[in-house]
Amino acid sequence: MMKDIHAMKILDCKPLNRYDFSQMRNMWEPVVYEVVAELLERNEMCNCHDCVLDTCALALNSLPARYWILGSYDAFSPPEKFIGNPDNIRLAEEAVLRAYRLVQQNPHH
Ligand SMILES: [Zn+2]
């Protein structure tokens, strides 16, 4: 079905090309990226491209996907609440540290 996963070409073709998928985001991404940014700033992880992306991918795969449509305001659970939730931040920290330990065992760099 999806022949070119890199370009996500299926979204450029009928019938899906009339919908704006760019607004659909996994809300764990900003939380995980924030944790990784802090580790990098403190020089607590390898800063090469492979280690950073592998760590992010592994961490995100280990967390339950939480997709949101940006701009569609949800009064009950706005994205800011999810991103700033201390429990979510702690879960993301644990996921990133676990992921980075795995990456270090078999680094691609
Ligand atoms: Zn590395």
Helix (H) or strand (E) holding 67: strand 67-69
Taking residue 26's Cβ as centre, other Cβ atoms within 10 Å add up to 15
Supply the angle between the helices 86-105 and 49-62 in degrees, to the nearest 10.
Answer: 130
Asked if the structure places residue 16 within a domain, the reply is no
User: How many domains does the structure of the chain reveal?
Assistant: 1
How far is the C-alpha of 82 from the C-alpha of 108, rounded, in Å? Answer: 32
- Render pLDDT for 15-36 as a digit per residue (tens, 0 to 9): 999 998 888 889 999 999 999 9
Asked if the structure places residue 14 within a domain, the reply is no
Asked if the structure places residue 48 within a domain, the reply is yes
Range of the domain at 93: 24-105
Measured in angstroms, how far is the CA atom of residue 8 from the centroid of ligand 1?
27
Asked if the structure places residue 9 within a domain, the reply is no
Measured in angstroms, how far is the CA atom of residue 43 from the centroid of ligand 1?
12
pLDDT above 60: residue 51? yes
Asked if the structure places residue 19 within a domain, the reply is no
Q: In this structure, what DSSP letter does residue 12 have? A: G
Asked if the structure places residue 83 within a domain, the reply is yes
Measured in angstroms, how far is the CA atom of residue 52 from the centroid of ligand 1?
7
Residue 4 pLDDT: 61
Asked if the structure places residue 10 within a domain, the reply is no
How far is the C-alpha of 4 from the C-alpha of 109, rounded, in Å? Answer: 26
Q: Taking the model in full, what pTM does it have?
A: 0.85
Higher pLDDT, 9 or 102: 102
Contact partners, residue 71, CB within 8 Å, separation at least 6: 23
pLDDT band at residue 75 under the 50/70/90 scheme: low
Measured in angstroms, how far is the CA atom of residue 41 from the centroid of ligand 1?
15
Asked if the structure places residue 57 within a domain, the reply is yes
